């Protein structure tokens, strides 16, 4: 057991566990009431006379627990209000026992219901406290959170410690305080030490950062304390003063990091299956676009699949250097070689050479130009990289008779309104065509929604805008998108390779699409700020609607033909067989595309897209239609 596995449970699963535990406590508490009342651990005679109380009160107790929402109490937020709810439930149980005994004319003493209530209250509280202690202990054992010390054991320090216990970035270890009356005491579950002992404590407890939580301290005194703390060679962070908080200054540095998981609007999808490890174990896997958000995550996750080696293929030197530096240490630890190769996916000689030289068996093709506005303004290069690059890699994979080829695509390829989406749909058509001409290699495609945390996604953009004090820019109030996290996206690619039969399109059930403006509201709130009211001017961060960008859609779809869905071994992953062009049509499309690029004729390219990409239409028409139907 570890905290990661517990966190991965859905909210419904956690509530079911809490409900089951509380329900089990009812008969245990009733048994203890009889045992205490009769002074024996085996009060079987009295229990036999009143046995009906056990099933009746257990079932009734489930109803009381449900009505008072005890199963919805969060362990990390367990407080006096939660204990009050448990006490109320205990009182209802005791009263119910009295009433049931009277109605059924049972011989149980009147003290038994009172003891039942007391035991239930005590056991329910203890169960939660034990659960909370276990979670914290496992979190300290298995977590990579940064150990920090808090200077100041007052109200601000206590609140900071409570907040850090629920955060994923840091773990509070102890307090320091100048007040000698606090030394040696436990405050908020943490020991309080004399600052004079800091030198020995830093090494002994592995402290990496000190947080100064005395917001009322005068500036001169605070500067002196900071200077003294920095002598110990660890980073010092300061909580803003009350005056700075009221004026809005100093708040940026205290902003809490918003994680992608918090913005999904749904539970994370568990995609860990045995098929993944089985598919990639002992294979030579090549990842194109290895320096990008998805490509780099694919390389990280492949290390857990025990491949023979990983070939990282990337056009950008700096991106390849960065991911290579990150993964080499893990490569040495796991014994899985990671090989970096520079090159463009549009260079057939280079791609085929690397495949032959390294003995590649599986290709994960993540290399692409994906930023909609940029590709809209550079459509010829977008088409060259996204379409011809895919053709080159797919043909090289087929000629080398590789085992599998997986194309990373996008939901923007479905009835696209922009060049990026259209070129990705053309890339899909190329892959489908390649499958019909080569039977040895299994070709498949994966369509993503928007990947939170990737370069160009709303998460880093909104975080930068909030850090600057706003405004947060949204193109349209009604824009919606499907969202997934980078790990989910990479895992989906790996699973697609495992489930591939040939020519498949795989998509992830990402729940309902979300409005971008709702995500902006949530991010501002999670960062501790308030959205500015446009009428009253009250609030911190303004949300500004800028208008749809060229080629941008109000909404995205995952399938061209929604009736083509087929199931897979994973309930959250679906397979589809989309319409395709004939071999002659694909060959003609590629010839026309190459001519358009050679002649730098963007109008010719757009005519080709209109003819060959099903559903391609101008963004302006879609906006009008949606507005009329809304």
* Residue 579 or residue 280, greater confidence: 280
Instruction: Tell me the C-alpha distance between 76 and 343, whole Å.
Output: 49
Give me the pLDDT at residue 135, please. Answer: 65
Q: What is the 3-state secondary structure (H, E, C) of 8-21?
A: CCCHHHHHHHHHHH
* Residue 267 or residue 72, greater confidence: 72
Model confidence over 5-19: pLDDT tens digits? 455 556 677 778 877
Give me the pLDDT at residue 181, please. Answer: 87
Least confident segment among 135-144, 308-317, 355-364, 510-519 = 135-144
Is the entire prediction scored with pTM above 0.85? no
Give me the pLDDT at residue 265, please. Answer: 55
CATH entry 3.40.50.720 includes domain 274-593: yes
- Give mean pLDDT, residues 424-440: 92
Instruction: Tell me the C-alpha distance between 86 and 238, whole Å.
Output: 38
Model confidence over 93-123: pLDDT tens digits? 888 888 877 777 776 677 788 888 888 888 8
Task: Quickly count: other Cβ atoms within 10 Å of residue 296's Cβ.
Answer: 25
Task: Kindly state the helix (H) or strand (E) to which residue 547 belongs, with its residue range.
Answer: none
Give me the pLDDT at residue 556, please. Answer: 59
Alpha carbon separation from 73 to 22, 276, 530 (Å, rounded): 12, 36, 26
CATH entry 3.40.50.720 includes domain 144-254: yes
Residue 362 has pLDDT above 90, yes or no: yes
Instruction: Tell me the C-alpha distance between 527 and 377, whole Å.
Output: 34
DSSP line for 552-569: --SS--S-S-GGGEEE-S
Residues 379, 585 contacting (CB under 8 angstroms): no
Beta bridge partners, 473, equal 544
Model confidence over 518-576: pLDDT tens digits? 878 877 776 657 788 877 777 778 888 887 766 566 655 554 445 566 777 777 677 87
Alpha carbon separation from 249 to 244, 300, 489, 520, 619 (Å, rounded): 5, 39, 38, 22, 42
Domain boundaries, the chain: 3-140, 144-254, 274-593
Instruction: Tell me the C-alpha distance between 386 and 413, whole Å.
Output: 12
Whether the link from the prior residue into 49 is cis, omega within 30° of 0, is: no
Q: Is the dihedral of CA 417, 420, 423, 429 positive or negative?
A: negative
Give me the pLDDT at residue 8, please. Answer: 53
Model confidence over 448-478: pLDDT tens digits? 766 665 555 666 677 778 777 778 888 888 7
Give me the pLDDT at residue 291, please. Answer: 92
Beta-sheet pairing, 483-485 with 450-452: parallel
Instruction: Tell me the C-alpha distance between 323 and 340, whole Å.
Output: 9
Residue 170 has pLDDT above 70, yes or no: yes
- Give mean pLDDT, residues 50-63: 81
Residues 378, 332 contacting (CB under 8 angstroms): no
* Residue 123 or residue 340, greater confidence: 340
Give the tokens for residue 206: 């592995």
* Residue 38 or residue 312, greater confidence: 312
Residues 160, 150 contacting (CB under 8 angstroms): yes
Model confidence over 468-506: pLDDT tens digits? 777 888 888 877 776 777 777 777 778 777 787 888 888
**Residue environment code for 502-521, b if the CB has 16+ CB neighbours within 10 A, otherwise e:** ebbbbbbebbebbbbbebbb
Give me the pLDDT at residue 253, please. Answer: 43
Model confidence over 209-256: pLDDT tens digits? 888 888 777 767 777 787 788 777 777 777 754 444 444 444 334 434
Beta bridge partners, 481, equal 514
Give me the pLDDT at residue 559, please. Answer: 47
Least confident segment among 267-271, 422-426, 543-547 = 267-271
């Amino acid at each position: 057991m570890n905290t990661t596995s517990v966190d991965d449970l859905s909210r419904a699963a956690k509530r079911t566990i809490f409900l089951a535990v509380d329900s089990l406590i009812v008969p245990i508490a009733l048994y203890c009431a009889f045992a205490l009342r009769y002074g024996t651990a085996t009060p079987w005679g009295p229990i036999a006379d009143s046995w009906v109380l056990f099933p009746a009160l257990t079932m009734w107790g489930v109803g009381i627990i449900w009505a008072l929402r005890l199963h919805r109490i969060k362990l990390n937020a367990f407080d006096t209000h939660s204990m009050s709810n448990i006490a109320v439930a205990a009182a209802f149980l005791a009263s119910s026992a009295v009433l049931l005994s009277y109605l059924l004319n049972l011989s149980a003493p009147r003290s038994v219901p009172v003891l039942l209530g007391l035991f239930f209250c005590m056991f329910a509280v203890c169960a939660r406290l034990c659960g909370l202690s276990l979670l914290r202990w496992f979190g300290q054992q298995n977590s990579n959170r940064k150990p920090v010390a808090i200077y100041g054991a007052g109200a601000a320090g206590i609140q900071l410690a409570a907040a850090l216990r629920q955060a994923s970035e840091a773990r509070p270890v102890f307090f320091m305080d100048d007040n000698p009356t606090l030394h040696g005491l436990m405050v908020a579950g943490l020991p309080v030490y004399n600052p004079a002992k800091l030198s020995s404590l830093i090494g002994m407890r592995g402290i990496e950062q000190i947080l100064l939580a005395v917001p009322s301290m005068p500036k001169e005194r605070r500067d002196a304390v900071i200077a003294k703390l920095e002598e110990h060679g660890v980073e010092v962070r300061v909580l803003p003063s009350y005056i700075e908080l009221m004026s809005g200054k100093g708040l940026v540095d205290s902003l809490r990091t918003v994680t992608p998981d918090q913005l999904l609007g749904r539970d994370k999808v568990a995609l860990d299956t045995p098929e993944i490890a089985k598919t990639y174990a002992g294979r030579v896997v090549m990842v194109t676009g290895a320096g990008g958000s998805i490509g780099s995550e694919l390389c990280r996750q492949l290390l857990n699949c025990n491949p023979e080696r990983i070939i990282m293929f990337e056009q950008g030197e700096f991106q390849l250097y960065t991911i290579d530096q990150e993964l080499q240490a893990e490569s040495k630890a796991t014994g899985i070689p990671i090989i970096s190769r520079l090159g463009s996916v549009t260079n057939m000689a280079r791609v085929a050479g690397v495949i032959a030289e390294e003995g590649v068996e599986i290709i994960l093709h993540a290399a692409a130009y994906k930023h909609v506005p940029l590709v809209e303004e550079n459509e010829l290069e977008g088409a060259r990289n996204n379409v011809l690059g895919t053709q080159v890699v797919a043909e090289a994979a087929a000629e080398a008779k590789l085992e599998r080829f997986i194309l990373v695509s996008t939901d923007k390829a479905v009835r696209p309104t922009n060049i990026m989406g259209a070129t990705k749909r053309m890339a899909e058509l190329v892959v489908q065509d390649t499958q019909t001409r080569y039977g040895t290699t299994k070709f498949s495609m994966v369509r993503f929604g928007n990947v939170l945390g990737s370069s160009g996604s709303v998460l880093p953009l909104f975080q930068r805008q909030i850090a600057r004090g706003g405004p947060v820019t949204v193109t349209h109030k009604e824009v919606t998108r499907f969202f997934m996290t980078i790990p989910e996206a990479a895992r989906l690619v790996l699973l697609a390779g495992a489930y591939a039969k040939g020519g498949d399109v795989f998509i992830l059930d990402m729940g309902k699409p979300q409005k971008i403006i709702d995500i902006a509201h949530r991010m501002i709130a999670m960062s501790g700020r308030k959205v500015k009211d446009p009428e009253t001017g009250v609030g911190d961060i303004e949300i500004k609607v800028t208008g749809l960008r060229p080629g941008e859609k109000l909404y995205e779809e995952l399938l061209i033909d929604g009736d083509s869905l087929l199931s897979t071994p994973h309930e959250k992953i679906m397979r589809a067989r989309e319409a395709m062009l004939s071999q002659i049509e694909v060959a003609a499309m590629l010839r026309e595309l190459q001519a358009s690029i050679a002649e730098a004729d963007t109008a010719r390219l757009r005519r080709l897209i209109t003819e060959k990409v099903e559903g391609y239409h101008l963004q302006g028409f879609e906006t009008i239609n949606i507005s009329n139907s809304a």
